[in-house]
Structure 1
């Protein structure tokens, strides 16, 4: 089967390579010409424009876009639509908000095209381990694209599935990332507690490896944590600044709208926001209040 990919960042490039190794023809485009040229050296076809990409694929075409959520997705669709034929399919494999996905699906379908959303997890490890694919959209294009999903997944029968109508794939991926926030926060807090218990001289790297076998907290996330600690056990050179790409915020918003209590995910998001505040005003306000009502010492810079 043939697939076009727009967006050859690390994830898009690795997806193209996994598909090529599985015997599928891949045509790729990126505005970064070096990324496009690199794809060609692997044996896939790198092209220099979206128009050339569309022309290089037989109808009905399937074009997977891996661009940042928001306006870049709409802009890419706008460039594709005049070049495509009825029955072609656009797949959004990025982290789009599911509400935008539902809107795009309706707009694209009204013009005679298909639109499939595919929440994609696996990061830089997907080439080796396979990708977890959470797919939303109409039945017909999803069924037709099954060989692509099977090739990208860890196996043809595991790690992927058609989870519901348009928007369902991105909704599930949004919640997946919200859960990830909570798991990461719990590990980070636990290791921080152990690191602070200086009299016990705990070796965090050793403990991470112990937990990898037999422990109820063993997980791929722990495996990656242990590997990172092997390389940098004292976290030298790192700043306490943690970004978020949006899915955690959207998950918290949905929880509020649905009257679902989600304190762990919510607090994990708040902690990420807090990490970006240098000498933050909130903590200084608490300090001055403690000094005012209790006469506690106020630490001054």
Structure 2
């Protein structure tokens, strides 16, 4: 059996098992390793008739792989990744490849690449998006790191990835931790889009009383238009699902406290470290944190009262909400793409934003029809610093901003929180302002801290004794 399999997977949970079965669907043999015998057996049962094996013995796993070995880890981020790597090292040969396919923090990926490179072992951090269904039938894959190593795994990744018009949704992205970084920002954008959709839902349900059935029809219609996307599609479906324990729709029976695994927070934190504004993503993270304060929110509503209905025709407001979502979606992608642009320069990743937009068009959670527009924008101008500066997108944003302003104004007047929509609008208004009031902030800083300032009429650094 030794050196029989083309590909190895460590971690046979739903994602790992589905990914390895996807590999075997495309003509490659694979072996999976897990400490849980039931998971190893489940792989063999589900893969009956395919060139696949499950095992709980790492020695057997390593010995059964063709050289140079290609091993992918889908285990929890952090310590477990390091533990698996260290346990494998005595059994590996120079030239073997380890791939971290989990949501690892990009700085950890840099550390692991340096550590393994010194031992002659190739290492790559690869972002994988699409959930369990995507892992089984075609995810979006974001590989970064050792360019030589990518050629070793490229045939397998291209085979298993999602396809858009026959084009695989995978491409080598760049050096170092670029793959994990791009996946991190992907997840930050995901946070923003999900929060925006939840605000649209809140405005329409709490604001003008649309039923779940009406919301299902509305979102289904939007998904057939310019808002076509995975997240809008599944949202439409969610509104139609009945609860098996009551006579209600399931969405109404779910507690309004959202959890998070940290990748959205990492996006915000690193954006702040780099000085990159991503306010929609920031607010999406903040609202998940605010949602956890359920007892306090209940107490506060008793003091201040609930939000009021929006005094607007439902059909008219729904049309404005569609514009608001379209505008805010673009603003969110623009923030994430701008972060990738700046981070690529800072960390010397060498990212191509047209490539990023291209591989996000299929398989991943943030896949959407508008990504093709973004791909074209970067194809037309590879040096585009922000999607808001693309002429074609600008023309559609000029029209859609009216709907966003209407929705934000109506929601604010009624006390319905729309922080991500408000942040998207504020980001746009600040970005398009040739002059901002930060001259006053500079004056204040110089007044209390002698931090100096620059002038509009001459070059140099200046300080004023403001008290005199």
Deviations 1:252-292 (A, max 9, x none): 0111111111110000001111122231289749959xxxx
CA contact (8 A) 2:22 2:137 kept: no
Secondary structure at the aligned position of 2:277 is classed as coil
Partner of 2:348: none
Hey, what's the Cα distance between the residues in 2 that align with 1:94 and 1:162? 17
Hey, what's the Cα distance between the residues in 2 that align with 1:162 and 1:200? 45
Hey, what's the Cα distance between the residues in 2 that align with 1:113 and 1:197? 57
Please state how far the C-alpha of 1:123 moved relative to its aligned partner. Answer: 0.5
Partner of 1:269: 285
Pick from 250, 255, 259: which aligns with 2:271? 255
Q: TM-score, normalised by structure 1?
A: 0.90
The Cα RMSD (Å) is 2.1
Q: TM-score, normalised by structure 2?
A: 0.58
Please state how far the C-alpha of 1:243 moved relative to its aligned partner. Answer: 1.3
Residues 1:285 and 1:210: Cα distance change in structure 2 (over 3 Å): closer
CA contact (8 A) 1:150 1:157 kept: no
Structure with the greater alpha carbon radius of gyration:
2
- Kindly indicate whether residue 28 of structure 2 is the aligned counterpart of residue 24 of structure 1: yes
Hey, what's the Cα distance between the residues in 2 that align with 1:110 and 1:285? 58
Partner of 2:239: 229
Residues 1:13 and 1:275: Cα distance change in structure 2 (over 3 Å): same
Any stretches of 5+ residues in structure 1 without a counterpart?
289-301
Hey, what's the Cα distance between the residues in 1 that align with 2:210 and 2:75? 47
Secondary structure at the aligned position of 1:191 is classed as helix
Please state how far the C-alpha of 1:237 moved relative to its aligned partner. Answer: 2.9
Any stretches of 5+ residues in structure 2 without a counterpart?
243-248, 305-468
Hey, what's the Cα distance between the residues in 1 that align with 2:251 and 2:279? 28
Please state how far the C-alpha of 1:129 moved relative to its aligned partner. Answer: 4.3
Residues 1:204 and 1:83: Cα distance change in structure 2 (over 3 Å): same
Residues 1:244 and 1:157: Cα distance change in structure 2 (over 3 Å): same
Number of aligned residue pairs:
287
Please state how far the C-alpha of 1:201 moved relative to its aligned partner. Answer: 5.1
Secondary structure at the aligned position of 2:294 is classed as coil
CA contact (8 A) 2:21 2:136 kept: no
Partner of 2:220: 209
Structure with the bigger percentage of strand: 1
Hey, what's the Cα distance between the residues in 2 that align with 1:94 and 1:111? 22
Residues 1:20 and 1:200: Cα distance change in structure 2 (over 3 Å): closer
Hey, what's the Cα distance between the residues in 2 that align with 1:222 and 1:4? 35
Hey, what's the Cα distance between the residues in 2 that align with 1:194 and 1:57? 55
Secondary structure at the aligned position of 2:8 is classed as strand
Please state how far the C-alpha of 1:236 moved relative to its aligned partner. Answer: 3.7
Partner of 1:117: 125
